[in-house]
Amino acid sequence: MTPSSVAQELVAYGKELAESGAAQVGGAFTDIPEADRLLKESPEAFLIGVLFTQGIPAERAWAGPYLLRERLGHLDLRRLAGEPDAVQAAFSQPPMLHRFKNTLPRWVSAAARMLLDEWDGDASRIWAPGSHVVEVTERLSAFSGIGRKKAVMATEILARHFGVPLQGLECGQVAYDVQVRRVFLRSGLACEDSVQAIEAAAQAACPESPGTLDLPAWLIGRETCRPKVPLCDVCRLGDVCPRLTWISVEGVATRNGRQS
């Protein structure tokens, strides 16, 4: 049981997920087909979905753009930017669209305004084919509510799930997410819980495309490498992992992005 064997298994799992076109959970983003379809068909909805991925379960977060459209009757950027009170009311209507009912509406309206002002109202310009992974990550990070962690995650999803032909995949990364961190630390891939250490471990494990490890590590952390009762015997890494299950990273909660 060595870090290299863990890395090999994680890389293999990541390639399987990439080949299958997996989105996030169970091969899809949500359990609402219409919500998944909207994310696929509307770059603006995808960007709004990235904003939602904070402090709530992933399936609920990615369904956010669809549910917001159902309440507003549109996802028109000019109205999202120019009618902030209506956006706020849509979030606050029971049941609330997001636990951060005041912050998310502001982010959505600000994102709409930024898309209109800087990207011609077309979010796909942010990740135009041939763009470099680092460029796309930086462009996404410029939006209020999208820090590096969300930007890294979104860039990896664009390349893996949506097949956007981005340059510089060797410069991609895993998100500094609680699930990913737990798996990297408990498996011995990383020895320190810091952005630099986790990213360096991903780079060492899969230098040609470190981002490939993001989804497999997140899924393992969510499904088997659980915080309190890890299911090591049925874990994808069970045969190669040193099972350092006493390590906990829950103290630094998912304040900044995707979680369970």
Domain residue ranges of the chain, discontinuous segments joined by +: 3-22+170-234, 33-169
- In this predicted model, what pLDDT tens digit does every residue of 138-164 receive, in sequence order? 999 999 999 999 999 999 999 988 999
Q: Does domain 33-169 have CATH number 1.10.340.30?
A: yes
Tell me phi and psi for residue 44, to 5 degrees. Answer: -65, -40
**Which residues, at least 6 apart from 15, have a Cβ–Cβ distance to it below 8 Å?**
212
To the nearest whole number, what is the mean pLDDT of the chain? Answer: 92
Q: At what angle do helices 214-223 and 178-186 cross, to 10 degrees?
A: 90
pLDDT score for 254: 37
Q: pLDDT band at 21, cuts 50/70/90?
A: confident
Question: Is pTM, for the whole model, over 0.95?
Answer: no
Q: How confident is the model at residue 214 (pLDDT cuts 50, 70, 90)?
A: very high
**For residue 25, what pLDDT band results from cuts at 50, 70 and 90?**
low
Q: Taking residues 239-245, report their average pLDDT.
A: 94
The dihedrals phi and psi of 82, each to the nearest 5 degrees, come to -95, -10
Other C-beta atoms within 10 Å of 30: how many? 25
Q: Which amino acid is at 57?
A: P
Which of 215-218's residues contact partners 24+ apart within 8 Å by CB, and which partners? Answer: 215/14, 215/17, 215/22, 215/24, 215/156, 215/160, 216/10, 216/13, 216/14, 216/17, 217/10, 217/174, 217/179, 217/180, 217/183, 217/184, 218/24, 218/175, 218/177, 218/179, 218/180, 218/183, 218/258
Burial class (CB in 10 A: 0-12, 13-18, 19+), 205: buried
The pLDDT tens digits of the residues spanning 160-205 come to 889 999 999 999 999 999 999 999 999 999 999 999 999 999 999 9
Beta bridge partners of 28: 25
DSSP β-bridge partners for residue 25:
28
pLDDT mean over 10-19: 90
Class level of CATH domain 3-22+170-234: mainly alpha
pLDDT at 80: 98
pLDDT digits (tens, 9 = 90+) for 104-123: 999 999 999 999 999 999 99
